[in-house]
Amino acid sequence: MEPIRVLITDDHLIVREGLRLILETAEYVEVVGEARDGAECLRIVAELAPDVVLMDLQMPGMDGITAIGHLRRDFPAVAIVILTTFNEDALMVQGLQAGARGYLLKDTDRTTLLNTIQAAARGETLLMPEILRRVLTAQTRAPASEAPPIATLLTNRELEVLRAAARGERNKEIAHALGISERTVKAHLASVFNKLGVDSRAAAVVIAAQQGWLEAAE
């Protein structure tokens, strides 16, 4: 199996070096480069085509949120995992809406970091329960934007799958619970993403929470 190619983006050298040491303990991860800000990240992604970018948010020059927007537009195949010290609900929502597949704080443990990178490389989103709870709470409290009724957007099955994703269930778990195949789960999620105009389950969950579509998920 080919290793997961990772680019580390952070303005602090000691953080980049520490992350490299951690990631290189996993034989299935290859750190292909380091960037000091968003602009350098974009240049290196264009050159090296990593599978996953670990992205800090607050950096001099181009910040992480801006860089994520450019990456999603110009390099949609690259998965992005936010790794930051900023423990603010609004930033979590903003980062996930921008297209990140994960949001981790820098005090996260090695296992969680590696699991999140693996999930991102597979095209999945892995959010820690506490992060997911805070994102859902923040969006539930926010005023709902104008949107068509859910019945005109999602089928009942798509809504079931989306609500399961909001609970943090993985594709295999959703498939087992609903009595369908993982391939069917992926097809439903792809349809949800297309209808909501997003490309990750994290962004879809944020929108669903904002619209009040997850109430039955409790």
Radius of gyration of the chain (CA): 17
User: What are the pLDDT digits (tens) for 149-176?
Assistant: 555 688 989 989 988 888 778 888 999 9
Q: Which domain holds residue 153?
A: 144-217
- 39-53, 179-193, 196-210, range with greatest mean pLDDT: 39-53
Which tokens in the block code for residue 46?
A: 């264009």
User: What CATH number is attached to the domain comprising 82?
Assistant: 3.40.50.2300
Domains contained in the chain, number: 2
208 band by pLDDT with thresholds 50, 70 and 90: confident
**Residue 23: CA count within 13 A, CB half-sphere:** 25
Same domain, yes or no, for 13 and 118?
Answer: yes
User: What CATH number is attached to the domain comprising 150?
Assistant: 1.10.10.10
pTM score, whole prediction = 0.73
User: What are the pLDDT digits (tens) for 47-70?
Assistant: 999 999 999 999 988 999 999 999
Same domain, yes or no, for 111 and 151?
Answer: no
Q: Which residues pair with 34 in a beta bridge?
A: 8
Q: 5-14, 49-58, 75-84, 93-102: which range is least confident on average?
A: 93-102
User: What are the pLDDT digits (tens) for 7-22?
Assistant: 999 999 999 999 999 9
